[in-house]
Amino acid sequence: MSPVEVRIRRLPRGQGLALPAYATLGAAGMDLLAAIEKPVNIPPLGRALIPTGFAIALPTGFELQIRPRSGLALKHGIVLPNAPGTIDEDYRGEVGVILLNAGEEPFLVTRGMRIAQAVLAPVLRVAWREVEKLDETARGAGGFGSTGHI
C-alpha cells in the first residue's frame, strides 16, 4: 500500500520536536508529542488541551483520527474524552489533544511526551434514502446488551 501524502506545517511551539511518526513498521497509529513550554499537571478527573506543534492539510476524502495510547490508559488512566477525535480535511489550525485523567493520581505532561496516536482514515459520504419501512432482522430494534453478550 502506498503512503498518502499529507502536507504538514511545523508551528513555532513544535520546533525541536519530531513530526508524527510510526514507532514500528506494523503500527497503525503515529505518535503525537506534547508541544508545551512547561509541564502541565492534570489532576484526577481533570482535563487539558495539549498542543502538538503542527497543523496539517489532509487530502480530500480523509480524516485524521486522534486516539488514546493504551499504555497511558492502562498505567495512568489517561484517556481522550472524545475518542476518537476527528481532524477534518478542511481544518487548518493546530492539532490539539484533549487529555482526561481518569486515574486516581495527578498526571504530569512534559514537553515531547507521547500523548496520543493519530490514524489516517478514509471518509465515505452518506446519501440518505428515506423509506417507510426497514428490512427485518433477527436482532430487530434490540440494543444496549439485548443480544445477551457483553
CATH of the domain at 39: 2.70.40.10
Whether residue 94 lies inside any domain: the answer is yes
Whether residue 146 lies inside any domain: the answer is no
Cβ partners under 8 Å of residue 6, min gap 6? 56, 57, 58, 59, 62, 64, 120
pLDDT, residue 150, reads 58
Whether residue 51 lies inside any domain: the answer is yes
Whether residue 129 lies inside any domain: the answer is no
Mean pLDDT of 4-17: 98
Distance separating alpha carbons of residues 83 and 78, to the nearest angstrom: 12
Whether residue 117 lies inside any domain: the answer is yes
pLDDT, residue 1, reads 75
CA-based nearest residue to 72, from 60, 62, 83: 83
pLDDT, residue 139, reads 84
Looking at the structure of the chain, the number of domains it has is 1
Whether residue 76 lies inside any domain: the answer is yes
Is the omega angle on the peptide bond into residue 84 within 30 degrees of 0, that is, cis?
yes
pLDDT, residue 3, reads 92
Whether residue 113 lies inside any domain: the answer is yes
Distance separating alpha carbons of residues 127 and 137, to the nearest angstrom: 22
Distance separating alpha carbons of residues 32 and 51, to the nearest angstrom: 10
- What predicted TM-score, i.e. pTM, was given to this entire model? 0.89
Identify the domain containing residue 103 by its residue range.
7-122
Q: Residues 117, 119, 123, 129: is their CA dihedral positive or negative?
A: negative
Whether residue 87 lies inside any domain: the answer is yes
Residue 149 has pLDDT above 70, yes or no: no
Distance separating alpha carbons of residues 116 and 57, to the nearest angstrom: 19
Residue ranges of the alpha helices (H) in the chain? Answer: 70-76
Structure confidence by residue, pLDDT tens digits, 43-102 = 999 999 999 999 999 999 999 999 999 999 999 999 999 999 999 999 999 999 999 999
pLDDT, residue 112, reads 98
Structure confidence by residue, pLDDT tens digits, 28-41 = 999 999 999 999 99
Structure confidence by residue, pLDDT tens digits, 101-114 = 999 999 999 999 99
Mean pLDDT of 121-148: 88
